[in-house]
Amino acid sequence: MLNTRNKVLLSVLLCLPLVLAFVEELDDSFMETRGADDTWLIKFYAPWCTFCKQLDPVWHQIGSELKSLGSPVNVGKSDATTNTGLAKEFRVRGYPAILMLKKGVKYNYSGPRTKDGIMNFADRVGGPLVRSLSSLQLFQHAMNRHDVMFVYVGATSQLKGNYTSVAEELIIHTYFFSAARDVLPKAVSLPSLPAVVVFKDGTYFTYNEERDGDLKSWINRERFPNYFKIDSYTLYAMGESGKLVVLALVEEKNLCEDSLRYKSLVEKVAADHREIYGRSFYFGFMEGGAYISGLVMGEVIVPSFVVVNLSNDGYFLPPGDVETEQQLMDFLNGVLDGSIQCQGGNSAIQRVRRFIYDIKVTLTPIFSQAPLLGCFLVGFPLAIAAVFCYLCRKARSTMSDDDDDGVTMSAPSLQHHKKRTDKKSD
């Protein structure tokens, strides 16, 4: 039995270098030594960063899996505190930072730090900008895989050039496809070609420049389902679109009757009144109220409704109970016409208040679980600040005394000076 264990251990140790080899450690010379057409998925980390350490085993799994799939994406990592030149080249601001370099273009990943999320990002950005769907079977397969799918239909045109340019910028968020007209299902009716179509929520919508404006803005607005479960990462990304987000806040488990009703109300308004509210709102539900509590700087009631404006950290609360579909629509109409006041925001005062709130939220659990540690964390910086102020005041007082000594004459000297002045006058 001991020999068996030793064999297993030896096998693991022999395989370990192979697994680690799938992730290459990069230094400041990387930009000069890389191939011009190489595609790299890179994690920037700091040795002291806890989140970086938690991500490390996932990162090696990603490197191993991409290699086994035959992906052209190379996986690397770099210590940003040591390789500062490379970190500056990629404009790293926090840790862990995940970016992809493809033919000289840098793409930043801002989604959840999970294996599935990062693998999806690597597949999306590492592949073709616009993927061709050459058959109805491929089209149906893509439809089954993606909740939201943008498709260019038609021959080469100026619209296709614009579509490709948008894809190069927004590929970090969604997939882009192209297809011939005969590849689409027969139920899809297009008024004219070429066309850009978005398929989502069991239906499709065609882009119209006169109605929808700029193509990039339209795609950015339409890249989310009309109603779905929203997490903090997705909610943050929604802020870039300019739309407001209608949320039903519900429990994380064992939904009560009110939670089920709130979810149903939001879903029904999203589906039945898309033409009225689709250009202004996203709809969804969020489990738990921790993220929104941080936004409103207070405890939110669960279940409840809230409309969030992530572009300026503002929010809207219903003025009264929302029990029916019409009451929810009245609430949304009030948000649109300005009769319901936006709260919060990102003004200087609000930022200070949010900073104080974050400190309070961070320290409260520490004081409740370890009062002595809490007192030390608060008292030590205050003591340092008090000593610093005292030393500054003492130094200023000393300088003031020195100045007084330099310009003040003693009484005998002043009298002698006066006599000499009087003699000169005589």
pLDDT of residue 397: 67
- Return d(Cα 220, Cα 241) in angstroms, integer: 6
Residue 199, strand partner residues: 149, 204
Answer whether CATH 3.40.30.10 is correct for domain 227-344.
Answer: yes
pLDDT (0 to 100) of residue 179: 95
Name beta bridge partners: 316: 307
Helices 2-20 and 50-68 meet at what angle, rounded to 10? 90
Tokens representing residue 40 in the block: 């790299």
In the chain, where are the structural domains located? 17-126, 131-222, 227-344
Angle at 162 between CA 146 and CA 139, to 5 degrees: 30
- Give the active site residue among 15, 52, 342, 389: 52
CA distances from 305 to 259, 269, 283, 322, 340 (A): 10, 13, 11, 8, 14
- Model confidence pLDDT, tens digit, residues 189-231: 998 999 999 999 889 999 999 999 999 999 999 999 989 999 8
Q: Which residue has the tokens 């007209």?
A: 181
Q: Are 33 and 73 in contact (CB under 8 A)?
A: no
The H-assigned helical ranges of 69-192 are 84-89, 115-126, 136-145, 158-170
Active site residue 342: no
- The one-letter amino acid at 263: K
Average pLDDT value over all residues in the chain: 84
Structure tokens at 99: 């970016």
pLDDT at residue 411 in the model: 45
The predicted pLDDT at position 136 comes to 93
Question: What distance in Å separates the CA atoms of residue 123 and residue 141, rounded to the nearest whole number?
Answer: 16
Specify whether the backbone of 375 is left (phi greater than 0), alpha (psi in -120 to 50) or beta: alpha
Find the length of the chain.
426
CA 90 to chain CA centroid, Å, is 17
Percentage of the residues of the chain whose pLDDT score is greater than 90: 54
The two three-digit tokens of residue 21, written as one number: 């080899």
Residue 198: name the closest of 180, 172, 224, 173 by CA.
224
- Give the per-residue pLDDT at 366: 58
The answer to pTM > 0.75 is no
To the query of whether residue 49 is one of the catalytic residues in this protein, the response is yes
Q: Which residues pair with 228 in a beta bridge?
A: 284
Omega prior to 191 cis, within 30 of 0: no
Q: Are 289 and 249 in contact (CB under 8 A)?
A: yes
- CA distance linking residue 331 with residue 342, whole number of Å: 12
Highest CATH level, class, for 131-222: alpha beta
Percentage, residues of the chain above pLDDT 70: 81
- The pLDDT assigned to 393 comes to 75
DSSP code string of 273-315: THHHHTTTEEEEEEESSHHHHHHHTSPPPSSEEEEEETTTTEE
Q: Tell me: cis bond preceding 194? Omega within 30 of 0 counts.
A: yes
Beta strands in 170-221 (DSSP E): 176-179, 195-200, 203-206
The phi and psi torsions of 209 (rounded to 5 degrees) equal -60, -40
Alpha-carbon distance of 263 to 227, in angstroms, equals 10
Taking only the tens place, the pLDDT of each residue in 41-51 is 999 999 999 88
CATH topology of domain 17-126: Glutaredoxin (3.40.30)
Q: Rounded distance, CA 53 to CA 404, Å? A: 60
CA of 106: how far to CAs of 99, 101, 168, 402, 413, in Å?
7, 5, 11, 59, 77
Q: Which residues of the chain have pLDDT under 70?
A: 1-21, 354, 357-380, 382, 397-426
- Choosing from 15, 49, 256, 375, the catalytic residue is 49
| pLDDT on residue 262 | 94
Q: Is 156 helix (H, G, I), strand (E, B) or coil?
A: coil
Residue 231 CA: distances (Å) to CA of 112, 115, 344, 346? 9, 16, 20, 21
List b or e across 363-373, with b for residues whose CB sees 16 or more CB atoms inside 10 angstroms. eeebeeeeeee
- Report the relative pairing of strands 97-102 and 105-109 from DSSP bridges: antiparallel
